[in-house]
Amino acid sequence: FGFFATINHGVDGATIKDAWTASTEFFDMKSSVKQSVKMTDDYPYGYENYESLGVERSTSDANNTSQDTLSPDSKETFSLGPLNSELSNMPARKFPLNAPSNFAPATERYYSAMEHLAKILFKGLAMALKLDDASWFLQKGRFDDGHQCALRILNYPELEYKTDASTVQIRAGEHTDYGAFTILKSGGPGLQLQLSKDKEWIDVPHLEDSFIIN
């Protein structure tokens, strides 16, 4: 169903604000605090500042004929997995001990709010597909309490752009999201999408108090 924005979504503004504030405070902390819960092969959540999903690319991979090197994505991430580790068969949640006191409760409340929003979106998707049961995607074995969805909190630190034109620095490189859909809360414009039928990049409008769904 492509990209769309949802407004009047029912997510409490305080929940969004608290998660945003707590995340900002967390990313402003010392590296030793942030890296105390790192993403590893055994724990696919936590902190990461070197995108492991696509470490280094060539601009030729992005439909560019040159062989200039693209630096790794210029961002840092903290990821949170599902609450029910037993049903999801995923590791239990971990938080840095010296993180801001509101970091864990604020991000967990936000995660729960996104779970609720996802259930509404799944019902809407079922209706759009004209399924007999609007709760088809919410049945056991689908998006139930054993789901494996992750919350990824991203920070894009301020950059001093290099004068060397042969090196390109980007925030988040060309990619395809995994899973049924992504619920994105953005702090401003910058997101682009590319339709499969052509090569043109389209700016996604930034709407206050909305979520982008793709």
SS3 state at 41? coil
Q: What pLDDT, in 10s, does the model give residues 104-126?
A: 999 999 999 999 999 999 999 99
The average confidence (pLDDT) of the chain is 83
Is the pTM above the cut of 0.85?
A: no
Q: How far apart are CA 128 and CA 100, in angstroms?
A: 42
Rounded alpha-carbon distances, angstroms, from residue 11 to 120, 138, 155, 162:
11, 20, 22, 40
3-state secondary structure 55-90: CCEEHHHHCCCCCCEECCCCCEEEEECCCCHHHHCC
Specify the pLDDT at position 208.
Answer: 86
Q: Please, where are the H alpha helices in 1-143?
A: 13-27, 31-34, 85-88, 103-128
Specify the pLDDT at position 187.
Answer: 79
Specify the pLDDT at position 62.
Answer: 44
Residues of the chain with pLDDT under 50: 52-68
Q: Which residues contact 57 (CB under 8 A, 6 or more apart)?
A: 70, 173
Specify the pLDDT at position 27.
Answer: 95
